[in-house]
Structure 1
Amino acid sequence: MLIKLDNSHPDVILLTGDHYVDHPSFGIAVIARVLQNEGYSVWICAQPDAKDNFKEIDLLPKPNLFFGITSGCIDSTVNLYTVNRVKRKTDAYTDGGSSLDRIRNTLTTYANKVRSSFKDSFIVLGGVEATLRRFAHYDFFTQKIQPSLLENFSADVIVYGSGENTIKDIAKLIKENKKDNIFDLKGITYKLPLSHEDTLKELKKLTDTESLKTSPEKMLPFTEDIYKYSQPFFKEKIYQKNRKSIIVQNPPAHPLTSKEMDYVHSLPFTYLPIPKPKKMLKAFETVRNTVISHRGCGGGCSFCAISLNQGKLIQSRSIDNILEEIDKRHLKSISDLQGPTANLYGARCKREDYCQRSSCLFPQVCNNLVIDENVYLRLLKKVNSAVKHLSISSGIRFDIPYKKALDFILKNDIAGGQLKVAPENCDDEILDLMRKPDFKKFEHFVEFFKKTRKKYKKDIYLIPYIISAFPTSTYNKTKKLKEDLIRLLGFVPFQIQDFTPTPTTIATALYLKLKKISAKEREKMRDLLHEKRNKTTKEKRTKHEYKKSGRKRKKK
């Protein structure tokens, strides 16, 4: 489907594998509105139909400046297949929720189609999939280490991480006929012929792709290098040699300032899907009444790639800007003050130079990280007084100050009946590999939660997120996990997912280095966690659900 932000001949055409939602939770919308605000004419081609060989792309006019391509909010392979390579039945980012029209390798399929139809157009790849597959990476669908997307596919550059400032610079340089200067910009990755290797001797060199293929155990130090050299304020270029080309990464773009975050969120979003879905668009319903408070995460969990996509440093909006958005949208109820970690809002780093730590919180909270719990508390109080009802759906971290905020959340009933938290496991060996805090910290959190809930006489429950079958997991460890969850919470949550070795995460490198867990073992662990759920919990959950609905339960 084609969406025109204005009717002029397009300067930029953006392609996405998702239904277009004009909301800042969707990266494609942010890029579109940023470019539009710079005076460029922007068109969006969303989910072109694969059934007629993407004819919709052939019918597009050639843009004055460039094509920008993203597969969407999630890596297209992860979105389409489970860890067991079974095709998913549903797709939250498609109208109606069917996965039938979703294709694997969306990014490269679109790029090659654009190149075949518009041979001399400049093509920019961006988003989650481009960021995580810009260097050699493990692909769980093919079960092979694959080279950079740029090795075999038709694109000029990848914009990695958050790309608002970089995309503005690319548009400006192409408009001024200074295309060659694009390759000096921060936040981009590009390829060179093998013959140029002698000119790169001064740069930091990553392990060759072919070497990784023959020795997968090298993926761990290689992936750690990518994280190390992608941290804010790193000033050098790095490169990796492939079979046919060399992939060069420029230093990362600087994180957005609070003022820049306010600018982005003041752009004229409609906060609606375009066009209006014929059925339900689950991804939109999830964020319909949400307000973003910040981006970035300093947690550095080994299975998570948020820091590669949004940055390690917390980039917070001002409270005034958040309140202005609430007023502009006439919101009476907010389902979430959205951020990767709710209570990291307002956190900042004392340093303003390069730091190679991939986590600000693990193994211990960094001395340079400034977390003032009162800043988050002030945000909660201001927003709560501005609306009739506020809920917090983003997760709360329990290895940083949380007691004041949690007390306020429970006292004022702004958890929506459920408070999300992510212990992920209970085994300290696994938690260490996950780069998560030890289980005792979660036990202390649960104890405080229960006392506070009792003090205010609230019917609120903890909803923990758990990852099963993580590297080094065993049946006995999973059994202990189940016992600990029942002991602490009285139930085993539904929010359990199998570990998926996604591209360019430390956990995926561990998965390749350590003994692999078979599909059969994975199934046994999952079945163990799901079987015979605690009766007391079912009774509590049923009681809670009926109380929320206002219906009366039938007595047996």
Structure 2
Amino acid sequence: MTRNLVEEPRFLPITGKEKEKLGIDSFDIIIISGDAYVDHPSFAAAILGRNLWSAGYTVGIIPQPDWQKDEDFLSLGTPRLFFAVSAGNVDSMVNAQTPNKKRRQKDAYSPGGRLKRPDRATIVYTNKLRSLFRNTPIVIGGIEASLRRFAHYDFWSDSVRQSILADAPADLLVYGMGERTLRLIADRMSAGDPIRSIRDIPGTCQTMPVSEWKSSEQEGFVILPGYPEVRESTVWYAEAFAAHAREQDPVKGRAVAQPHPKTVVIQNPPAMPPDTAELDAIYDHPFARAAHPLYREPIPALEPVRFSVISHRGCFGDCSFCALAHHQGRIISSRSEESIAKEVERISRMKSFRGTIQDVGGPSANMYGLSCNLWKT
């Protein structure tokens, strides 16, 4: 691939002027996010963008584009490789409505708490991009795409919806934590592989035409009850969920397919979680731990985590009420104590730091450092 020789900026570029100032003709990858751009490791666009940049790719971010107009989506031009689309750190429907289906009045991931993202943001953003960039690859990911990768019950419409890949005109879906997976996609495309030929990367889903699926070799796939069946039968729905849940083991998991009326959704086995060295590298970037200076209003979601440190990922609890294991997996990945101490030292040198680390932990409380031999075999 062509290595990125542009020095990593304090903030990743979000405007055409920043792009010009860095001397970039066209970005390798452009991230579309439903969140405001906060350069902090708890915000997906920042951690994904930083990791791609360190791997040699130039990355631009279009945060919270106005989906009713074209201008924001066109503002950074056409990426050399692909668009990466996410609804943000929270499913856009959870972000928009309370459990009583009342519209929320504020969005913690937006400047001033203002409402700036559409419902079902991944689908909306992807449709807009496809209308403007007909031949440019689109990769979707994030919590919204991950948890809607198969036919699923949608509380907000009280119905079973298709896989998000059957509704959004994307080329690939990345599920789970996507740093390594996105980089592998970028490496393959940079080496000349068309995105539609990239069918074997762990942690991804793609679609296949029904006619092609029927004529292809299906041995080795776990074939779920199709969308029409799970939509009409709670028994079929439960069986489909249980079947694909059993395949979320990155060591022993198999490929899973689910027929839909116009396409077949195929999930590759999950990606192996990062080991300690890789996780250390993921968090070893010069995050500003601040919102992009373009914003004049604070981002409410930043303050509770500004001086927090992520120590590990994953949760082996797999509680029925929680989506964590379905997104981050059940294997615990822990950073080294040296990496954590290094991040704390960086924080301590910040002018805005007042002496208190808000939190050192992960989504699964006291599972830091725990391991199991079965996770390796």
Q: Which residue of 2 is the match for residue 72 of structure 1?
A: 88
Rate the CA distance shift 1:77–1:85 in 2: closer, same or farther, 3 A: same
SS at match of 2:111: coil
Distance in 2 (CA, whole Å) between partners of 1:212 and 1:161 is: 24
Q: Which residue of 1 is the match for residue 9 of structure 2?
A: none
Are residues 1:120 and 2:135 paired? yes
SS at match of 1:303: coil
Question: Aligned to 2:151, which of 124, 130, 136?
Answer: 136
Are residues 1:351 and 2:335 paired? no
* Offset of residue 211 of structure 1: 0.2
How do 1:236-255 and structure 2 match up within 5 A? 236-255=254-273
Rate the CA distance shift 1:117–1:230 in 2: closer, same or farther, 3 A: same
Q: Which residue of 2 is the match for residue 87 of structure 1?
A: 103
* Offset of residue 299 of structure 1: 1.1
Which structure 2 segments of 5+ residues have no match? 1-12
* Offset of residue 109 of structure 1: 0.6
Distance in 1 (CA, whole Å) between partners of 2:291 and 2:217 is: 45
Distance in 2 (CA, whole Å) between partners of 1:116 and 1:276 is: 28
Q: Which residue of 1 is the match for residue 31 of structure 2?
A: 14
Question: Aligned to 1:335, which of 335, 354, 358?
Answer: 358
SS at match of 1:284: coil
Q: Which residue of 2 is the match for residue 234 of structure 1?
A: 252
Once the two structures are superposed, residues 61-105 of structure 1 have per-residue CA deviations (whole angstroms, 9 ceiling, x without a partner) of 111110000000000011101122211111110111123x23101
Q: Which residue of 1 is the match for residue 293 of structure 2?
A: 275
Distance in 1 (CA, whole Å) between partners of 2:337 and 2:197 is: 37
Are residues 1:211 and 2:226 paired? no
SS at match of 2:290: coil
Q: Which residue of 2 is the match for residue 324 of structure 1?
A: 342
Q: Residue 371 of structure 2 aligns to which amino acid in structure 1?
A: R
Which structure 1 segments of 5+ residues have no match? 355-556
Question: Aligned to 1:295, which of 290, 310, 313?
Answer: 313
* Offset of residue 193 of structure 1: 0.4
Once the two structures are superposed, residues 212-231 of structure 1 have per-residue CA deviations (whole angstroms, 9 ceiling, x without a partner) of 11113432232222221112
Are residues 1:184 and 2:184 paired? no
Question: Aligned to 1:262, which of 271, 274, 280?
Answer: 280
* Offset of residue 135 of structure 1: 0.7
* Offset of residue 345 of structure 1: 0.8
* Offset of residue 338 of structure 1: 2.8
Distance in 2 (CA, whole Å) between partners of 1:20 and 1:308 is: 26
Q: Residue 52 of structure 2 aligns to which amino acid in structure 1?
A: L
Distance in 1 (CA, whole Å) between partners of 2:72 and 2:375 is: 46
Are residues 1:148 and 2:160 paired? no
SS at match of 1:168: helix
8 Å contact 2:122–2:168 — kept in the other structure? no
Q: Point out the structure with the larger helix share.
A: 1
SS at match of 1:24: coil
Rate the CA distance shift 1:352–1:295 in 2: closer, same or farther, 3 A: closer
Q: Residue 94 of structure 2 aligns to which amino acid in structure 1?
A: V
Q: Which residue of 1 is the match for residue 54 of structure 2?
A: 37
Percent same amino acid at aligned positions? 37
Q: Whose radius of gyration is greater, 1 or 2?
A: 1
Distance in 1 (CA, whole Å) between partners of 2:75 and 2:294 is: 23
Aligned CA-pair RMSD: 1.7
Q: Residue 46 of structure 2 aligns to which amino acid in structure 1?
A: A
Distance in 2 (CA, whole Å) between partners of 1:53 and 1:92 is: 23
Q: Which residue of 2 is the match for residue 363 of structure 1?
A: none
Distance in 2 (CA, whole Å) between partners of 1:265 and 1:147 is: 35
Once the two structures are superposed, residues 41-80 of structure 1 have per-residue CA deviations (whole angstroms, 9 ceiling, x without a partner) of 1100000124x52421134311111000000000001110
* Offset of residue 7 of structure 1: 4.1
Distance in 2 (CA, whole Å) between partners of 1:7 and 1:296 is: 39
8 Å contact 2:244–2:256 — kept in the other structure? no
Q: Which residue of 1 is the match for residue 186 of structure 2?
A: 171
Question: Aligned to 2:209, which of 193, 196, 206?
Answer: 193
Distance in 2 (CA, whole Å) between partners of 1:279 and 1:178 is: 42
SS at match of 2:360: strand
Distance in 1 (CA, whole Å) between partners of 2:227 and 2:240 is: 10
8 Å contact 1:209–1:243 — kept in the other structure? yes
Distance in 1 (CA, whole Å) between partners of 2:343 and 2:375 is: 29
Moved beyond 6 Å, runs of 4+: none
Distance in 1 (CA, whole Å) between partners of 2:322 and 2:361 is: 17
Distance in 1 (CA, whole Å) between partners of 2:294 and 2:362 is: 26
